[in-house]
Structure 1
């Protein structure tokens, strides 16, 4: 490279010096010189700008890892903007430090029926209690993640938003509530927050414009899924069982995807083509008409859009409200606007888009207007059932097939029946890794662990045991497993027997509810061994629960408090506090749904 006077800001003497120097420099020397000059220039700029506090705190409440992932992504963006960013779980927030925070961003999911995620429980309780301080100097904004098919959509985020304002906080940017397809609204939220921070900070110029709201660590992600080949797809249940549990093995070779036990796989399913055809028969539009399916302008034939892009098996209150605005059906409008919420709730339960069209449709002037109110098919998350150390370049899943009757029709789980009925060996599934830091093996391999996972809830514990076997971990392990029948529903029975024989698995207690006159569940087995179980807790054991939240997880939680109360000689309140302390120290972890 040669400089000339004509196209450079240097005089002839400077050009001659540069032309003698530059060819003699190594690439490393050139890079150093470039950085030195840039730093010197920025130092001059900084000296002209008064230095003020530019700290931002991001706290997250996360059950499956989505909110935590967004917190980390947006933290990188704000660091690129020149801010000092502190990121932490709500579980790690010290109440006494809350008054010291000036800029607070909250990213939280809502769990179950409007409840905070596990790692947000203590912070939520404190903030809504009498000891919460005034926060008159606080500027805040809330990003709320949820699922609009639940009645209390984004409830936790809404409660944080209201409470912070009650305590004197001022919004940096209005709360944004996200449905399952949260990428676009979440990006819009951080863009709004960044703009508000810049406007409020008149003495601070954002010097890095290159930061974006999307930070992707790998080539494949939630928004860019990997097509994983299906290597194995077998039914784990024996002949005569009224359940069907699929064991899937997927190939990850060459994908660059990595995972740890406790993480999940997200699968993007496709709708049952039979249901799609039934829906098209009820509609008046050409199934081959092209419709635009996203803001990027991508188009698909109407039939294909219903098959592979839009959710057609779940009805939500938000969906009915949108449809009522397009429809002239008086009965539908009455249902949506009725003060009797129980009537609307009853209608939503167990019905799908085909029911809605038959009862109140069709609506919309075109296929495009029809699909404009539908939401994208969300991915379904499944706990990973394998260790990558034991199964390099593979990932295994345990999926319970959902089939039931409702309102005179057979119904089915979209993803579970997609995998069970229509995915063959050699086919591919669109997947991504959902990392979950809230459900992990202890870093010390000598720590004892207690695992409680009936049915498909046993999946992550298969991964735990494979990992511990590969690492040669010496810590004790105890598994509580349950299902309906010993003969037909003992998932991975031979594997557990081998692990017990080798000593990798120290103890296993089983409960098969339909094999005895009185139903016996895992919590009953726990209570039967309450003395030994409490001894394990006192030794520092970590307790893991995976499975159904509404019934099993609540019953197991109650049983743990019973055991701690009885064996520890504590009051009910003290026992609950013992369990809360375990949770805060990551010794009580749940992957529940």
Structure 2
């Protein structure tokens, strides 16, 4: 016997107001809806700020708390959203803004502000935060005697400029006369150990300093419900296919790398994504690496270790809970102390910064343990190692083409160091998955890396190596929707014969007109190395014409060198063929970035 679904309660608005609400919310993005829900809830309790151009009594002019985030991989965004939700749930009106959508003219009027900003690479702001960071650090920033603020910085301690952007913002706001509510916090890649206490402090500070409204349960808001599966509850995605994209070793031609195409099922998960989004993967450490750590330290993998309220056998801690393939500065510092190694102690001094960076970039935990013996107890080891973090992979498909699937392009990290085999945690985990296995996954939205809303706009896609992944999804999506704009792909890799990823797909797309232009740079196929930036400069006039015609430019791949070289090539092309100075060309690119016409997904 089937049950009848209960009827939806009638809307508490007359028909004319309902129509006005629909017109008001049409076209608003998530940030706009977040702000509007906070505004409406504040009006319900009599404390919302008036709309521009209206007058309201002082008692009704209390501002909501403003939460601003600058995020490269989604972590700062996730924390900012968590804070905004918590404030709303506790009756404190809040608005949430991505850094590139924050109106700088409003800074002088802010009363309470929480900033969550990541630092990418060695001291660089995230792409969405560049303009706001430059404004606050620059001469145009206003005096802020009425502002109360708090800052959470996110970064990677393996870089010398760890959390530099958060530190710079914190110091600058204080110098502008703002009042720090509580001390800045700097979170390493084990984010939650720092971000969770910071969130509690932020929530308490907001409740104390702003007049509270009734709890969220009494107010209808427009916040979307979170999906059933997410970062903290990943979906076990069955593997449908695991195929090599690079040519295997042969007598004459072989690829230097193993790059794979994986197809994962999302059926039954309720998960959906847009082209440009990433798939978060929770890996397990290579079993051989776990055994090597246990053997090196003469530890029993079956010994039960308690940490953070959880008790597990040491083997499980090392397999599924702790980072082993990424060596960190805090762990190195602790190991230097236990081993008494003078060489390691020297690396931790300012004069050893360069050597430290090289060591952290090229060695894993096991290399340190073997080179500098020390006595570790199971409890101390578990406490010192950083929690295992998920890895993000640009999705190489469009759901308009593949349905309830997500495709990935994965470079298997597999190499030898001093005669011993080493692997990357996630890539090795994925490379070894068969069609009988499953992968714990979730969707990480990337709102800054989206196709143009206007399907008639042209797009230029620059993606060497595995950076080509999202552009496969872009082209699938543009084909499915019948977008009339032109599509131009610039791809590079070492060798044509062995490393032309998705070669037959791109060539077929070129033949049937779905891809309008394909420029290739195979760096090792001639005496002089050629990279994608050279191809951009060779096609500088055409590139400038496309940009002036309204094209959107996308870059995906390595942040340390490729992204900078491509940015330089774009600047030169615009300056040369647009008759601009270098400064004006750089400003043009900055303008395009703020407009969403120049987007980067770099790592």
| TM-score bracket relative to the smaller structure | 0.7 to 0.9
Q: Give the one of 476, 482, 487 matched to 1:477.
A: 487
Matched residues in 1 for 2:140 and 2:298: separation?
Answer: 60
The answer to whether the aligner puts 1:551 opposite 2:565 as a matched pair is no
Q: Give the one of 565, 570, 576 matched to 1:560.
A: 570
Matches within 5 A, 1:41-120: 51=60, 53-120=62-129
Are 1:323 and 1:363, in contact at CA under 8 Å, matched by a contact in 2? no
Matched residues in 1 for 2:551 and 2:8: separation?
Answer: 52
Matched residues in 1 for 2:146 and 2:246: separation?
Answer: 59
Residue matched to 2:37: none
Root-mean-square deviation (CA), in Å? 2.7
* Secondary structure at the counterpart of residue 399 of structure 2: coil
The answer to whether the aligner puts 1:248 opposite 2:267 as a matched pair is no
Are 1:65 and 1:437, in contact at CA under 8 Å, matched by a contact in 2? no
Q: Give the one of 384, 388, 395 matched to 2:399.
A: 388
Matched residues in 2 for 1:207 and 1:188: separation?
Answer: 25
The farther-off stretch of 483-492 and 407-416 is 407-416
The offset of 1:210, in angstroms, is 6.7
Matched residues in 1 for 2:351 and 2:440: separation?
Answer: 41
Q: Give the one of 207, 213, 217 matched to 2:214.
A: 207
The farther-off stretch of 568-577 and 276-285 is 276-285
Matched residues in 2 for 1:30 and 1:499: separation?
Answer: 51
Are 2:47 and 2:62, in contact at CA under 8 Å, matched by a contact in 1? no
Matched residues in 1 for 2:117 and 2:574: separation?
Answer: 30
TM-superposition CA deviations, 1:257-289 (whole Å, max 9, x none): 111110011111111111211211122332201
Q: Give the one of 119, 133, 138 matched to 1:124.
A: 133
Matched residues in 2 for 1:566 and 1:333: separation?
Answer: 49
Residue matched to 2:383: 372
* Secondary structure at the counterpart of residue 291 of structure 1: strand
Matched residues in 2 for 1:117 and 1:537: separation?
Answer: 23
TM-superposition CA deviations, 1:523-543 (whole Å, max 9, x none): 111112111111110111000
Matches within 5 A, 1:340-379: 340-342=351-353, 343-364=355-376, 366-379=377-390
* Secondary structure at the counterpart of residue 307 of structure 1: helix
Alignment gaps of 5+ in structure 1: 1-25, 33-38
The offset of 1:28, in angstroms, is 7.9
Residue matched to 1:278: 292
The offset of 1:407, in angstroms, is 4.6
After superposition, the Cα gap between the structure-2 partners of 1:170 and 1:508, relative to the gap in structure 1 and judged at 3 Å, is: same
Q: Give the one of 260, 274, 278 matched to 1:260.
A: 274
Are 2:462 and 2:556, in contact at CA under 8 Å, matched by a contact in 1? yes
Matched residues in 1 for 2:10 and 2:224: separation?
Answer: 29
Matched residues in 2 for 1:524 and 1:333: separation?
Answer: 41
The offset of 1:431, in angstroms, is 1.2
Matches within 5 A, 1:121-520: 121-183=130-192, 185-201=194-210, 204-205=211-212, 207-208=214-215, 217-239=226-248, 240-293=254-307, 295=308, 297-324=309-336, 327=338, 329=340, 331=342, 334-335=345-346, 338-342=349-353, 343-364=355-376, 366-420=377-431, 422-520=432-530
The offset of 1:339, in angstroms, is 4.4
* Secondary structure at the counterpart of residue 231 of structure 1: strand
Matched residues in 1 for 2:588 and 2:199: separation?
Answer: 38
TM-score, normalised via structure 1 length: 0.87
TM-superposition CA deviations, 1:516-575 (whole Å, max 9, x none): 222221111111211111111011100000011122111111111111111100111111
* Secondary structure at the counterpart of residue 444 of structure 1: coil
* Secondary structure at the counterpart of residue 113 of structure 1: coil
* Secondary structure at the counterpart of residue 99 of structure 1: helix
TM-superposition CA deviations, 1:8-56 (whole Å, max 9, x none): xxxxxxxxxxxxxxxxxx9988998xxxxxx9xx97999xx96550422
* Secondary structure at the counterpart of residue 104 of structure 1: strand
TM-superposition CA deviations, 1:311-370 (whole Å, max 9, x none): 112222122234456x26363773465443234444434222222223344334x31222
Matched residues in 2 for 1:540 and 1:77: separation?
Answer: 40
Matched residues in 2 for 1:551 and 1:339: separation?
Answer: 25
Rg comparison, structure with higher value: 1
The offset of 1:505, in angstroms, is 1.3
Are 1:248 and 1:397, in contact at CA under 8 Å, matched by a contact in 2? yes
Are 1:149 and 1:314, in contact at CA under 8 Å, matched by a contact in 2? no
Are 2:277 and 2:443, in contact at CA under 8 Å, matched by a contact in 1? yes
Residue matched to 1:4: none
Count of residues paired in the alignment: 549
The offset of 1:469, in angstroms, is 0.8
